[in-house]
Amino acid sequence: MCSGRVLWGIKVRLFLFSSFSLIGLILLAGCGGGGTSGSGSGTPPPPQNSQLTVVLSGTGTVSSSPSGISCGSTCSASFANNTQVTLTATAGNGFAFTGWNGGGCSGTGMCAVTLISATSITATFSQVPSSVLTLTMSGAGSGTITSNPTGIDCPTTCSASFANGTQITLTATPGNTFSFTGWSGGGCSGTSICVVTLSAATTVNAAFGGSLQSINHIIFLAQENRSLDHYFGELRKYWADNGYPDQSFDGLPQFNPTSGAPPLQGPIPTNPGCNPAFPYNPPPAPFQDCVFDNTDPAAAVKSFHLQTACVENPSPSWNESHVDWSYNDPTGLNPAVLDGFVWTTGHDSRAPNAQGTGSEFMDTNGVRVMGYYDGGNPNDPTDPGDLNYYYFMASNFATSDHWFSSLMSRTNPNREYLIGGTSHGYAYPNGTNSQDQGQISTPIIFEELQNAGITWKVYVHPDPTPPPNSGCASNDTTPRCLYLVSYLHNFAYGQTIVNNYPQNIVPISQFYADATAGTLPQVAQIEPASGSGLDEHAADFDPQPGQLPCCSVQAGAAYVKTLIDAVMGTPSKPSPSWKDSAFILTYDEFGGFYDHFAPQAAASPDGITPVDLYQPVNGVGGDVCTKVSGPTCDFTYTGYRVPLIVVSPFTKKNYVSHAIADNTAILKLIEERFNVSSLTYRDAAQIDMGAEFFDFVNVPWANPPTPPAQHTQLHCDLNPPIQ
């Protein structure tokens, strides 16, 4: 026990300190204080906590339970003695955990240590071999690809390194309106998830199918006045001569094979000609019309190969189109016999010219309408081909043997259908007779596009010889003069374009600039270069002495090639416009040239019947439909077949469509792609061109082909053709 002397001393001091200090003094004066020796009861108590330290070797992390260690951020922590601390190691990417050292731990499982003193434990991570996984994407569509474990997030991150032996699960998600069409590479296929276990560098491809939304630029051009048989009647022979596989195509029957896909070979078509007993007699002899003769085989005019790039113009007008259907039944009360082509052309060719001094044309028997052009035979040096470029494009891309003009009449009303879906009752050009009602006030496709915020332009070839009272200079590129050259002037909205959107009607030179720069609008119409004789229209007039004849089909085809080339580019250097464009080439109507396939029943665009047919005067003259009515006397039939070529990276290869359609199907394609309403019942009833002509999964022409140069060897001669 403590001595009283010491305690007394303490007592004395207690009076001198506060109660707080008193407590402190009592503690200081406790037994064993003052450095005196005792029995050992003064040994310090053992520590209550111990320090645990984790050392990392390599790349990885270590965590503890209870918490405290989260290494590599927190690698040292204090725990109460006798606490069992469990450590867990997680290897970093490209590393493997290879074991513990210290604290009694070893192996690669968890490390459990009970602390009684400061302890250090090492977690060793060793680098393991890794390989690169690369993702590629193909197809016309788009989407994303992600991986588990993370690393791939394509199209942002399409390549990542993973440790060999890692099992990686890939998931593909298509973008809006697109589809996922399958995996390839890495042992994956099908359309579910792709699981890859890496052991070497691996590439996996994900294919995404496109849709109509893959096309961002629709370009259309309607050239002038050519029928399908007249241009592509020899197509199956061209395939045989040039190594293309045969398939069904309803051209001229004499060129079909004797076996294989129908239709098969048939007799050479003929049309009754003018009775030779009643030849044309020039003035001042009495006028002698072409006399229809379907009894004398010698008068029949056979289908034949034209030897000139230029011909005098036959008439495709309302009356002639109906007589072409049947000389004896032009209003369609019975099925078409298609026997009036030669008679209508001979009849029109014999009509006196404006001076009354003779026939308007030299081919007064109308035999030219039975002529056709070919595509050429590489094995025959004498046959380089008349329309070799068109035959190549139709054979490699897509065409149709059931594509028609919109009505049985001439250019103007057919072009009104092309951009407006209706002629609003016109069977003739606006302004040609007393029933004319002026410009058509119904909407056109460009009005709908403008209202929907879709970009568009009309590209016009300036007129080198404008009408004298138009106020336009030669090759004038002002919007007003381009408007007058175009067929926009048939619609009231055309003037709205000139007034409010003049930047949308531009010269053809701008098309080349836009196409090669990749700045085409979403919809582009190219108007035919009629004033320059490049529209493929047959010659309206014979040349005056000293003038050259017009108009070469080869020159027109060569011009069209420059337009398509601007969009297409070359295989080694595709145009910036190529990847998402579609160029549609067709013809406004058949031009009066023979075709063996009759017009087809079609939806009336608006219920309006013809408003401008020529009425008889004192019982004489007048249109056939004013004398006898019939099915073809309304706008419920198409016109005759016309050529079609669909050029796009998405076009099906060597494809022939057999679906019945007319030129207003182009309107429907635009309407469906850009989500605007149908203009009339006619365009609403058309086929789905997106599904019919395009392959958005495989993108058949991602790299365009190399078309041949268009030949120009045919001379231009308007003399009566020789069969």
Give the N- to C-terminal CA distance of the chain in Å, as an integer: 149
Q: Is the pLDDT of residue 29 over 50?
A: no
Determine which helix (DSSP H) or strand (DSSP E) holds 345, and give its type and residue range. Answer: helix 341-350
- Give 459's contacts (C-beta < 8 A, 6+ positions apart): 506, 507, 508, 510, 511, 524, 525, 526, 527
Q: Is the pLDDT of residue 16 over 60?
A: no
Cα–Cα distances (Å) from 416 to 112, 229, 555, 590, in that order, read 88, 24, 26, 16
pTM, two decimal places: 0.82
Highest mean pLDDT of the ranges 121-135, 253-267, 615-629: 253-267
Q: Is the pLDDT of residue 364 over 90?
A: yes
- How does DSSP assign 491-550, residue by residue? BHHHHHHHHH-GGGEEEHHHHHHHHHHT---SEEEE---GGGT-S-PPBSSPPPTTPPP-
Give, to the nearest 10 degrees, the angle between helix 492-500 and helix 445-452: 40
pLDDT in tens, 478-528: 999 999 999 999 999 999 999 999 999 999 999 999 999 999 999 999 999
Q: In Å, how far from its chain's centre is CA 49?
A: 75
| CA 410 – CA 432 distance, rounded (Å) | 13
pLDDT in tens, 690-711: 999 999 988 999 999 999 999 9
Q: Which two tokens stand for residue 545?
A: 């002495």
- Give 612's contacts (C-beta < 8 A, 6+ positions apart): 425, 426, 427, 428, 432, 433, 435, 436
Cα–Cα distances (Å) from 604 to 9, 314, 430, 637, in that order, read 129, 27, 20, 8
Q: Is the pLDDT of residue 430 over 80?
A: yes
| CA 349 – CA 71 distance, rounded (Å) | 99
Tokens 């493929």 identify what position? 536
Query: Residue 30: its pLDDT value, please?
Result: 42
Q: Is the pLDDT of residue 196 over 90?
A: yes
| CA 2 – CA 5 distance, rounded (Å) | 9
The predicted model gives 118-138 an average pLDDT of: 93
Query: Residue 436: its pLDDT value, please?
Result: 52
Q: Which two tokens stand for residue 649?
A: 């990276």
Please answer whether residues 346 and 287 qualify as being in contact, where contact means their C-beta atoms are separated by less than 8 angstroms.
Answer: no
Bridge-based pairing of strands 76-80 and 49-57 is antiparallel
Angle, vertex CA 530, rays to CA 549 and CA 371, nearest 5: 55
- Predicted confidence band of residue 4 (pLDDT cuts 50, 70, 90): very low
In the chain, the amino acid numbered 270 is: T
Cα–Cα distances (Å) from 490 to 71, 429, 568, 680, in that order, read 80, 9, 32, 17
Q: Is the pLDDT of residue 358 over 90?
A: no
Q: In the chain, pLDDT over 90 holds for what percent of residues?
A: 81
Q: In the chain, pLDDT over 70 holds for what percent of residues?
A: 93
Nearest to 581 by CA among 598, 568, 596: 568
Query: Residue 77: its pLDDT value, please?
Result: 95
Q: Is the pLDDT of residue 11 over 50?
A: no
Give, to the nearest 10 degrees, the angle between helix 411-420 and helix 445-452: 20
Bridge-based pairing of strands 194-197 and 49-57 is unpaired
- Predicted confidence band of residue 32 (pLDDT cuts 50, 70, 90): very low
Neighbour-count burial of 388, counting CB atoms closer than 10 A to its CB (0-12 exposed, 13-18 middle, 19+ buried): buried
Query: Residue 437: its pLDDT value, please?
Result: 63
Please answer whether residues 583 and 567 qualify as being in contact, where contact means their C-beta atoms are separated by less than 8 angstroms.
Answer: yes
Query: Residue 47: its pLDDT value, please?
Result: 75
Query: Residue 356: its pLDDT value, please?
Result: 64
pLDDT in tens, 36-64: 444 445 667 767 999 999 999 999 999 99
Domain at 130-210: CATH code: 2.60.40
Query: Residue 683: its pLDDT value, please?
Result: 98
Nearest to 603 by CA among 669, 661, 564, 666: 661
Query: Residue 505: its pLDDT value, please?
Result: 98
- Predicted confidence band of residue 3 (pLDDT cuts 50, 70, 90): very low
Query: Residue 464: its pLDDT value, please?
Result: 95
Bridge-based pairing of strands 153-154 and 202-209 is unpaired
Half-sphere exposure of 239 (CA within 13 A, CB side): 21
- How does DSSP assign 35-52, residue by residue? G---SSTTPPPPPSEEEE
Beta strands in 635-723 (DSSP E): 644-647, 655-657, 661-662
Which phi-psi region, left, alpha or beta, contains residue 23 (left: φ > 0; alpha: ψ -120 to 50)? alpha
Cα–Cα distances (Å) from 383 to 234, 307, 370, 377, 575, in that order, read 13, 11, 20, 6, 32
- The superfamily (CATH) of domain 217-247+387-693 is Alkaline Phosphatase, subunit A (3.40.720.10)
pLDDT in tens, 269-280: 999 999 999 999
Query: In the chain, what are the domain boundaries?
Result: 49-127, 130-210, 217-247+387-693
Which one-letter DSSP state was computed for residue 128?
Answer: -
Q: Which two tokens stand for residue 625?
A: 């439909």
Q: Is the pLDDT of residue 68 over 90?
A: yes
Please answer whether residues 629 and 333 qualify as being in contact, where contact means their C-beta atoms are separated by less than 8 angstroms.
Answer: no
Give, to the nearest 10 degrees, the angle between helix 388-396 and helix 235-242: 80
Nearest to 312 by CA among 537, 555, 588, 556: 537
The predicted model gives 236-251 an average pLDDT of: 97
Query: Residue 267: its pLDDT value, please?
Result: 97
Query: Residue 418: its pLDDT value, please?
Result: 98
- Spell out the SS3 assignment of 82-99: CCEEEEEEEECCCEEEEE
Highest mean pLDDT of the ranges 160-169, 378-387, 431-440, 455-464: 455-464
- Predicted confidence band of residue 27 (pLDDT cuts 50, 70, 90): very low
Which one-letter DSSP state was computed for residue 72?
Answer: T
Query: Residue 538: its pLDDT value, please?
Result: 97
- Please provide the average confidence, as pLDDT, over all residues in the chain: 91
Query: Residue 357: its pLDDT value, please?
Result: 66
Q: In Å, how far from its chain's centre is CA 628?
A: 46
Determine which helix (DSSP H) or strand (DSSP E) holds 180, and give its type and residue range. Answer: strand 179-184
The predicted model gives 561-566 an average pLDDT of: 98
The predicted model gives 300-311 an average pLDDT of: 96
Angle, vertex CA 216, rays to CA 692 and CA 478, nearest 5: 115
- Predicted confidence band of residue 5 (pLDDT cuts 50, 70, 90): very low
The predicted model gives 604-621 an average pLDDT of: 91
Cα–Cα distances (Å) from 25 to 3, 29, 561, in that order, read 16, 6, 113
- Give 298's contacts (C-beta < 8 A, 6+ positions apart): 276
